[in-house]
Amino acid sequence: MTNTSPRLPSAAVVREVGLRDGLQSIATILPTEQKREWIAAAHAAGQREIEVGSFVPARLLPQLADTAELVAYARTFPDLFVSVLVPNLRGAENAIAAEVDLMIVPLSASHQHSLANLRKTPDEVVAEVARIRAARDAAGSKTLIEGGVGTAFGCTLQGQVEKSEVLRLMQALLDAGADRVSLADTVGYADPAMVRELFEAAMEIAGERFWCGHFHDTRGLGLANVYAALEVGVRRFDACLAGIGGCPHAPGASGNVSTEDLAYMLGSMGIATGIDIDALLALRQRVARWLAGETLHGAVWQAGLPKTFAAPAARPAIAA
Amino acid sequence: MTNTSPRLPSAAVVREVGLRDGLQSIATILPTEQKREWIAAAHAAGQREIEVGSFVPARLLPQLADTAELVAYARTFPDLFVSVLVPNLRGAENAIAAEVDLMIVPLSASHQHSLANLRKTPDEVVAEVARIRAARDAAGSKTLIEGGVGTAFGCTLQGQVEKSEVLRLMQALLDAGADRVSLADTVGYADPAMVRELFEAAMEIAGERFWCGHFHDTRGLGLANVYAALEVGVRRFDACLAGIGGCPHAPGASGNVSTEDLAYMLGSMGIATGIDIDALLALRQRVARWLAGETLHGAVWQAGLPKTFAAPAARPAIAA
């Protein structure tokens, strides 16, 4: 159908994070060659933003040890916006050297989760972002810095995470020099009402610097949460092909929102993503073979597209 | 969290249709005794509206041959609102005799689907509803008549179903004497933007006589569609425990919205359903044993409730 709702955008970006958030959460270590195939096929299917890995020590995440090589490969596609995750200044220096377009610094709004995962308080992460900003500017680099506020809707360790604390940390990231900020429902605690409330407040604070919504489908609400975020103006969403990744604490439970289902929902609503869903489903089949034995997710690959489905033609410009 | 959005209701009804829409779509024939246990446990978990079966010839749907017995049993719970599906006047006469609270007459807005499924055109179904209304009134019965407009968002046979045709048939059902009307996305073609548009128009036509939204999760959008319908004022939703039923044309694909995930989403948003989700999940375990070998769905049963989850206390009144 055509997009008749004035509240919905004409275009949105689906950022593929399967190669990072997806692969880091599963046991299979995908060979670099297959990751290159994945990047090339995702690009051919119309994806223009891909998080290709993480600059962390290989001993911590052997799945992502080839990140530098993948950045170099991804940069051979001139219209591909390449991002990586960096946990600290050292990772950021690698990202700057690799000339990625954007580096995501994760911050956990849950103090307990932050200490357990990053061994830093949230405010220590903010201080690190200030150092990263200084290093980026000193290097004359164009790499953008995204501060990603995780456990924004609660946390499996600490439970409640206050909205005011999430927003305080987001403001602190902006003040420390983050070019972009994002919100992530790391553990799948969000519902559409929470999303609407928090994202509305976040976008008031960050304006054009608000960048991305990151939702997990742990309790089946991933796409409902995306829709709620769309309604308050969010225009970019993280997703993993086949819904991989996410929640090591709930075996078998869904991980990230699946790229193909998200692209279907957006396309069905008349929101252009530039993604060819049939090509994406063909890629999903290949990735599913590579990840044989892993639990995959998603619905459209099983049910097929509706007979009535017609994707919007236009491709959104990447406003980075 | 508390419900802070002025657009969302303080209460909603989850109508269990697993015993009808769910069981009629799967191979296992559940013994009457287990169906009685299901009804009793669903009631104990706080469900107050259950579609217990369908008055169709047993040779067509042997799974539902015990509908009269189940109605009699369900009516022993004084605060349970008992419904059945009836395809025609004959079924309606049985429903009236059984003194159900409400009988649902399905109408398919897709002419092709209507002919293939019901061997009647949609307008012939409207005429049947007029006969059902006459019979109900002649009998002095209090059984309500709900006209359920299916394939409201498209159809696997015919493809496109025009919105104007859906609304015309809804108006015709009201004119023919249906006390209530509903909309169903029978094949899982709806997206939240379509839902918003069609349900908004339908509620303008039907007002207080608009009754229920029926969504399938075939392509992963079931709960996103529920949320979109909630935003335009829909207050009652069909659901099947464990997401059974739905789409025989897409093996393995999800069926109806799952009761437990829907109850979780509503409860998380501060919308009272009266449902005790832990009790519902315990019932799901029993039903899963009874239906061993069938493909079940849903997310919350795997992931568990969030540490932060607190269901609203109040139970909605049943405004029938």
* Local mean pLDDT, 10-residue blocks, chain A (320 residues): 66 97 92 98 98 95 96 98 98 98 97 92 98 98 98 93 98 98 96 98 97 96 98 97 75 81 98 97 98 93 92 58
Which of B184, B185, B187, B166 lies closest to B111 in space, CA to CA? B166
Residue B253 pLDDT level (bands cut at 50, 70, 90) = low
**How much is the mean pLDDT over chain B?**
93
> What is the structure's pLDDT at A320?
46
Tokens encoding A274: 């530039």
Q: Is the pLDDT reported for residue B88 higher than 70?
A: yes
Gap between the Cα atoms of A41 and A88, Å rounded: 30
Residue-level pLDDT at B248: 57
Q: Do A219 and B8 touch (CB under 8 A)?
A: no
* Domains recognised in chain A with CATH numbers: 1-84+216-320 (3.20.20.70), 86-148+157-180+200-210 (no CATH)
State phi, psi for B20 to the nearest 5 degrees: -115, -75
Angle, CA of A15, A33 and A90, to the nearest 5°: 60
- Provide the pLDDT for residue B312: 77
Digit-coded pLDDT (tens) for B177-228? 999 999 999 999 999 999 999 999 999 999 999 999 999 999 999 999 999 9
Test the B interface: residue of A2, A194, A219 with most B CBs within 10 Å: A219
Beta-bridge partner residues of B238: B15
Determine which helix (DSSP H) or strand (DSSP E) holds B147, and give its type and residue range. strand B144-150
Rounded Cα gap, residues A60 and A313, in angstroms: 42
Does B302 sit within 8 Å of A220, measured CB to CB?
A: no
Q: What is the pLDDT of residue A297?
A: 93
Which residues of chain B have a CB within 8 Å of the CB of A156?
A: 307
**Chain B residues whose beta carbon lies within 8 Å of the beta carbon of residue A226:** 224
% of chain B at pLDDT higher than 70: 93
What is the rounded distance in angstroms from the CA atom of residue A230 to the CA atom of residue A13?
11
pLDDT at B310: 86
Question: Which residue of B3, B199, B221 is the best one to mutate when testing the A interface, meaning the one whose CB has the most A CBs within 10 A?
Answer: B221
Tokens of A135: 């290093």
Check if B247 is active-site.
yes
Compare all CA atoms of chain A with the CA of B190 and give the residue at the minimum distance: A268
Q: Find the range with the poorest average confidence among B150-154, B243-247, B274-278.
A: B243-247
ipTM: 0.94
A179 min Cα distance to partner chain B (Å): 30
B75 torsion bin: left (phi>0), alpha (psi -120 to 50), beta (else): alpha
Angle between helices A122-138 and A89-98 (to 10 degrees): 30
- Look at residue B154 and tell me whether its pLDDT is greater than 60: yes
- pLDDT digits over B298-319, tens only? 999 999 999 999 877 665 555 5
pLDDT tens digits, B271-299? 999 999 999 999 999 999 999 999 899 99
User: DSSP code of B249?
Assistant: T
How confident is the model at residue A252, as a pLDDT? 55
CB A193 to CB B156 under 8 A?
no
Residues 167-226 of B with CB under 8 A from A: 187-189, 191-194, 196-197, 217-221, 223-224, 226
pLDDT digits (tens, 9 = 90+) for B119-139: 999 999 999 999 999 999 999
**Contact yes or no for B257/B217 (Cβ under 8 A):** yes
pLDDT at residue A14, rounded to an integer: 98
- Top pLDDT among B165 and A157 is at B165
Comparing B250 with A231, the larger pLDDT belongs to: A231
What size, in residues, is chain A? 320
Per-residue pLDDT, B247? 56
> In Å, how far from its chain's centre is CA A291?
20
Share of chain B above pLDDT 90, in %: 88
Q: How many CB pairs under 8 A join A and B?
A: 146
